[in-house]
Amino acid sequence: MPRNKLAKNPADYIVPLNINGLEGRMMRLSGPVKRQREILYIYGHHAMLERWWGFVENLAEYGNVTVPDLPGFGGMDSFYKIGKKPTIDNFADYLAAFIKLRYRRKRVTIFALSFGFVVVTRMLQKYPELTKKVDLLVSEVGFVHKEDFIYKPATRVFFRWSSALFSMRPMALFIRYAFLNSFMLKFIHARMPNTKRRMVEVTPEEFSDIANFEVKLWQVNDVRTHWYTTKQFFEVDNCGVRVNLPVYHVVSAGDFYFNPHVVEQHMRIVFTDYKSFTTTSKAHTPHVMADKKAMGVLLPPGLKRLLVKDR
- Tell me the residue type at 210: I
| Whole-angstrom distance, CA of residue 283 vs CA of residue 198 | 7
Do the Cβ atoms of 300 and 292 come closer than 8 Å? no
Q: Does position 55 have pLDDT exceeding 70, yes or no?
A: yes
For domain 3-150+238-308, give its CATH number from 1.10.3210.10, 3.40.50.1820, 3.40.50.800, 1.10.10.60. 3.40.50.1820
Most confident of 13-22, 197-206, 212-221: 13-22
CA–CA separation, 13 vs 252, rounded Å?
A: 28
Contacts of 226 (CB under 8 A, 6+ apart): 45, 46, 72, 167
Q: Give the alpha-carbon dihedral of 142, 143, 144, 149, to 10 degrees.
A: -170
Q: What is the pLDDT of residues 170-182, one digit of tens each?
A: 999 998 888 888 8
Q: What pLDDT score was predicted for residue 2?
A: 41
Per-residue pLDDT band for 83 (boundaries 50, 70, 90) equals very high
pLDDT at 22 over 50: yes
235: three-class secondary structure by DSSP: coil
* pLDDT of 102: 94
Confidence of residue 107 (pLDDT cuts 50, 70, 90): very high
Q: What is the pLDDT of residue 1?
A: 39
Note the Cα 134 to chain centre separation in Å: 18
Contact 257, 284 (CB under 8 A): yes
Q: Where are the domains of the chain?
A: 3-150+238-308
What was the pLDDT predicted at 184? 75
How many percent of the chain have pLDDT more than 90? 72
Alpha-carbon distances of 158 from 152, 234, 245, 267, 309, rounded to whole Å: 10, 9, 34, 25, 45
Render pLDDT for 227-283 as a digit per residue (tens, 0 to 9). 999 999 999 999 999 999 999 999 998 888 999 999 999 999 999 999 999 998 888
- What sign has the CA pseudo-torsion 128, 134, 136, 142? negative
Average pLDDT over residues 30-59: 91
Tell me: pLDDT of 91 over 70. Answer: yes
